[in-house]
Structure 1
């Protein structure tokens, strides 16, 4: 890699992230204790930024941790953030803590996914909902988006599928706008292409739950209603940790809570 191509690569990446965030060169410079002239020189490849400056710029632009490493590599520096496998002993405490959170959320469903919605762990509440899903979708590596929206997955039992599908696709679109991830984009194109039910076959849950969109799901001859929350780690310093997310499902009505306590005591 030549010096010119390295600098040009870093500058192009920086400009792309700045434009994604809707900032001018002056706004970025003020936020990162630099100058608009220096930012301009970096973006055009006329100046090679120092590592500390790149990290400040990445922090101000809220660039994902994995992409910060890519920016550093493009500028000729070593990656700053490690990417530790989740099963590495160094993450034993973190993994144990997540498993405790999953178990503590029972009987309500909860799972942990990575940046492409690959299921890394789940509790008994999730296992209960997966009854009847095509075994091929449950073969490792399981993918939460694929399982939810595939016609051989959960989709036929989701009573408000059109609404929930739109919510999930919008979530993926926002994520794609924030990160450079070809696997995520490929997953989006795949699940977006799954068949969609006719309008009159999908229940509108807005009238029933005006405060938040629920997941309305058939199970055991009754309809369960859940509200979803997503948690991530604050200020992650590792690529793997930065991409972990825990999704928990809370009962949206007393009937759902009572049913889950009954079947998963």
Structure 2
């Protein structure tokens, strides 16, 4: 089996540079998003509260080291760290190249190797907004019966929870929705991304309910998927990221694999390979 038409060797998505407001107001918005006082931030960053106040009001211009120290204390993601640096009149810390760029060949090759290594288990590469960049052959299982309009611009969360996507085949839909929505809610709070917030609102509007009940002893939330033959295939999801990435494309890329949670699922996937 081969990946569907939207998956190609060059099927990568690039980011967009966004204009930043003045550094002080931008930092203040991040501080409020993290629900920190100026004193809290000062303690986290090991600087004086007076200095934090001066930076926020524009009375003091932060150095590059100070911007990065404050960003670390505020847990600002890589793309938004670049925005903070630019707002302070400084060069960004992270480059951004497409995965087609010759300089990204090691990352591109690494992603392809990971995807192929998981076959016949489903595995896909996504960006930070859950847009699907590439899948392996095993992931065809996850798009069987999915409506064409969801595959035209594939987003993993839409495919998973939309009524025209995988939702009718997910036996524990309410439980899986609770897990996915909770995860997206945390990511949205961390990144402050308007795109993530819009996706969250859209996903929350889908039918299916939510169920907080855990399974497998409360250790993980499984994905219970009905196969064509009526067999229930049970998966555990794992996520791989580039922990030391210095490029935004690599830093924001995740590889999500769905591993069999039981022997019956493993046998079914190997038999269908």
TM-score past 0.5 threshold: yes
Alignment of 1:39 with 2:48, yes or no, is no
Contact 1:7/1:48 (<8 A) preserved: no
1:166 is paired with a residue whose SS is: helix
User: 1 CA distance for matches of 2:189 and 2:215?
Assistant: 31
Q: For 1:158-169, what aligned pairs fall within 5 Å after superposition?
A: 158-169=170-181
Choose the corresponding residue for 1:212, options 212, 220, 226. Answer: 220
Evaluate the alpha carbon distance shift between residue 235 and residue 58 of structure 1 in structure 2; reply closer, same or farther with a 3 A threshold.
farther
Q: CA deviation at 1:121?
A: 1.1
User: 1 CA distance for matches of 2:96 and 2:218?
Assistant: 41
Contact 1:110/1:122 (<8 A) preserved: yes
Choose the corresponding residue for 2:185, options 169, 173, 176. Answer: 173
The answer for the alignment partner of 1:225 in structure 2 is 234
Q: CA deviation at 1:251?
A: 0.6
Contact 1:7/1:47 (<8 A) preserved: no
Q: For 1:114-263, what aligned pairs fall within 5 Å after superposition?
A: 114-139=127-152, 141-196=153-208, 206=214, 210-221=218-229, 222-263=231-272
Q: Deviations over 1:135-189 (max 9, x none)?
A: 22112x3110111111111000000011111111111100110112111111111
How many residue pairs match? The answer is 254
User: 1 CA distance for matches of 2:49 and 2:270?
Assistant: 59
Q: Deviations over 1:75-94 (max 9, x none)?
A: 22232311111221111111
Q: CA deviation at 1:33?
A: 4.8
The answer for the alignment partner of 1:15 in structure 2 is 28
Evaluate the alpha carbon distance shift between residue 181 and residue 138 of structure 1 in structure 2; reply closer, same or farther with a 3 A threshold.
same
My pick for the range that moved more, 241-250 or 208-217, is 208-217
Alignment of 1:77 with 2:90, yes or no, is yes
Structure 1 gaps of 5+ residues are 1-5
Q: CA deviation at 1:49?
A: 1.0
Choose the corresponding residue for 2:77, options 64, 74, 81. Answer: 64
User: 1 CA distance for matches of 2:176 and 2:84?
Assistant: 35
Contact 1:233/1:241 (<8 A) preserved: yes
The answer for the alignment partner of 1:3 in structure 2 is none
My pick for the range that moved more, 20-29 or 151-160, is 20-29
Evaluate the alpha carbon distance shift between residue 255 and residue 67 of structure 1 in structure 2; reply closer, same or farther with a 3 A threshold.
same
User: 2 CA distance for matches of 1:242 and 1:223?
Assistant: 35
User: 2 CA distance for matches of 1:224 and 1:82?
Assistant: 41
User: 2 CA distance for matches of 1:35 and 1:16?
Assistant: 19
Alignment of 1:86 with 2:86, yes or no, is no
Q: CA deviation at 1:208?
A: 5.7
Quote the RMSD (CA, aligned, Å): 2.3
What TM-score, normalized to structure 1?
A: 0.88
